[in-house]
Amino acid sequence: MTSAVPVIDVHELTKVFGKKTVVDKVSLSVNEGEIYGFLGPNGSGKTTTIRMLCGLLRPDGGKGTCLGHDVLSESELIKPHVGYMAQRFSLYGDLSVRENLEFMARMYGVADRRRAVNDTMERMNLAGFAATLAGNLSGGWKQRLALAACMIHSPRLLLLDEPTAGVDPTARRDFWDEVHKLAGQGITALISTHYMDEAERCHRLAYIAYGKLLTTGTAAEIVARENLATWEISGPGLYALIDGLRALPGVEQVVAFGVTLHVSGRDAAALEAHLPPFLAGRATAVRIASSLEEVFISLMRGTRP
């Protein structure tokens, strides 16, 4: 379902703010029609990378193309075909929903403006809010409007920077359905997120921490590559066990998951050998498949600066 022509193809993109290297030699390749998840902790350089891709920031190093145009010198050619949604709501709060969309449509020189605005509002269920001031919309509807605004000019590439941050689960689900529908039409999307359930809805993922790209691939590939073995521990008084678990040979991380603990390590044999004796009589351990979350936490530990 994906063609071989990469929509985003950048190599060793680097951005330095003052003395701090915020993005350090990040290379990405995103194919047409792909939903590409961009993950990483806060301050890892996701936003900066996305901004470099669409010309909002000038890279200090690296090269590459976005939609076939040079990211360093041809951002004017890239902009008209990119839909960008900033992390912070960045439409005009004192303009109505319709006015905001019309403004964006005019900025991009959309041919049949009235129709484009009406169609977009229809599709995003915004018609009922046409005359509402954008500033008065609730978080979920603001995000919906922002998505509508970045699609008004039928872009070929969507760059969405944490589009679902602070949005309720229903609105998030609707949002992802919409993104998949767009992908079906051949639109490529690069979406940064913190949510693991969202990461699993992406075709491919990239994980970035402290400015460095740690891994890329499908969720399954990434999990398999890390080769992490995980046990789920359940029982009463689990928190008292955490320090003890961490000291066991082979244990690389202990993470609280609701009422259970997830204990992971690459050395499955060591864990197998030491976990049951330690827990005997106090809790039970069941081996489970490692999830993306454990893998990402493990990845991040390995690169702490």
Partner 1 sequence: MTRLFSPSRFAAMVAKEFVQMRRDRLTFGMMVGIPLLQLILFGYAINSDPKHLPTAVLDNDRSVFSRTVLAGMKNSQYFEFVEEVEGEKRVEELLRLGRIQFVVTIPPDFGRDLVRGQRPVLLLEADATDPSATSNAAASMQQIVRGTMNRDLTGPLAPLQSREGPVELRFHPRYNPEAVTQFNIVPGLMGVVLTMTLVIITSLAITRERERGTMENLLITPVRPLEVLLGKLVPYILVGYIQMALIVVAARYLFEVPFLGSLPLLFAVSFLFIAANLGVGITFSTVAQNQLQAVQMSFFFFLPSILLSGFMFPFRGMPEWAQYLGSVLPLTHFLRIVRGVVLKGNGLADIAPHLWPIALFLVASLGIGVKRYRQTLD
Per CB under 8 A, residues contacting partner 1 are 51, 54-58, 76, 79-80, 82, 84, 86, 88-93, 104, 107-109, 149
Nearer to partner 1, 55 or 250 (CB): 55
Tokens found for residue 82: 């990119």
Amino acid at 108: Y
Question: Rounded distance, CA 238 to CA 225, Å?
Answer: 30
Q: How far is the CB of 195 from partner 1 (least distance, A)?
A: 22
Of the pair 56, 288, the CB lying nearest partner 1 is at 56
Q: Which helix (H) or strand (E) holds 113?
A: helix 113-123
- Cβ closer to partner 1: 22 or 251? 22
- Minimum distance from CB of 239 to partner 1 (Å)? 34
105: buried, middle or exposed (CB in 10 Å: 19+, 13-18, 0-12)? buried
Q: Which is nearer to partner 1, 58 or 115 (CB)?
A: 58
If the CB atoms of residues 76 and 243 are measured against partner 1, the closer one turns out to be: 76
Taking the complex as a whole, the smallest distance from the CB of residue 81 to partner 1 amounts, in Å, to 10
Please state the separation of Cα 145 from the chain's center in Å: 19
Q: What is the closest distance, in whole angstroms, from the C-beta atom of residue 80 to partner 1 in the complex?
A: 5
Give the three-state DSSP class for 25. Answer: strand
Whole-angstrom distance, CA of residue 28 vs CA of residue 186: 19
Q: Which residues of 170-181 are buried (b: 16+ CB within 10 A; e: fewer)?
A: ebbebbbebbee
How near is the Cβ of 264 to partner 1 at its closest, in Å? 38
